[in-house]
Amino acid sequence: MSPFALCLVLLAGLIHASWNIAAKKAGGDAHFAVFSGMVGMVVWAPLGIWLGLDEVPRWNATQWGMLALSACVHALYFVVLLRGYRKADLTVVYPLARGLGPLVSSLAAVLLLGERLTIWGALGLVGVVLGVFLIAGGPSLWRAPRDPVNAARLHAGLRYGALTGLCIACYTVADGYSVKVLLISPFMFDYASNVLRMGLMGSTVLRDLPAARVLWRQQWRYALVVGILSPVSYVLVLYAVQTAPLSHVAPAREVSMLFAALLGGHLLGEGQRGTRLLGAGCIALGVVALALG
């Protein structure tokens, strides 16, 4: 991986962890996903219109089909992720999602996109997955808490984290193919996908506007943070994918776990900080190996 691609991934990781903290603190549901998506659509509209006037007329059925697929999977991802945050700790849901996603997407990149995983790349992937396992709780994941409430919370985190990770793998491969093979502009791909997502999810807000207004007054600050930062972090990753193998970029972006382990434990008061910091170290070493690969 080139130094430029690595810098993009590192910056994206910091931004990604930051907006996930905001999403966790919001405690929102599908309404919050729509609020943040609408913010992103409005804030980034000038750039989207300016670039879209030149690029969108060149898209054919294949490009639009990949956009539709991306929009559907991203919509499911946001709904499942936010529901997991309401029912479990961020430091369980987020690590499992971010670990399973790159593992599956890296394998898919090798099998479907013809990429080759070097020895350093394989070691880096193992380091990232091990780090994610430790941050998620390590061996304690297999020991159910004695407290039924905490046990149910842990099991919910495992379920939602795994489902979110599968969504991540699906959209990572689809979006990587779109910007790497179909040569769609990363920004335009993400922006157009968000517009389509709002078409899919907008009914969530329209069904009960009075309730939506109440939620907006409670969550608008967090929606601004997520709506502005989320597109930035993902577009940076898509630009990195254009210049580096997807099988390297996908796990390398999990450096965001290092930031989430620090920020999540400190800001949200979630426990097992020592184990999670050890896991963050494994992820950091894994990212270094991926960079060398």
**pLDDT tens-place string over residues 188-238:** 999 999 999 998 888 878 888 888 898 899 889 999 999 999 999 999 999
Residue, of 252 and 147, whose pLDDT is higher = 252
Q: Compute the average pLDDT of residues 171-188.
A: 92
CA 80 – CA 145 distance, rounded (Å): 24
Residue ranges covered by each domain of the chain:
3-292
CB atoms within 10 A of CB 153: 16
Structure tokens at 76: 């499911």
Residue, of 241 and 132, whose pLDDT is higher = 241
pLDDT band at 268 (very low <50, low <70, confident <90, very high): very low
pLDDT band at 91 (very low <50, low <70, confident <90, very high): low
**pLDDT tens-place string over residues 131-149:** 777 766 666 655 655 667 6
CA 187 – CA 234 distance, rounded (Å): 9
Of 27-36, 179-188, 260-269, the range with the highest mean pLDDT is: 179-188
CA 14 – CA 251 distance, rounded (Å): 14
CB atoms within 10 A of CB 253: 28
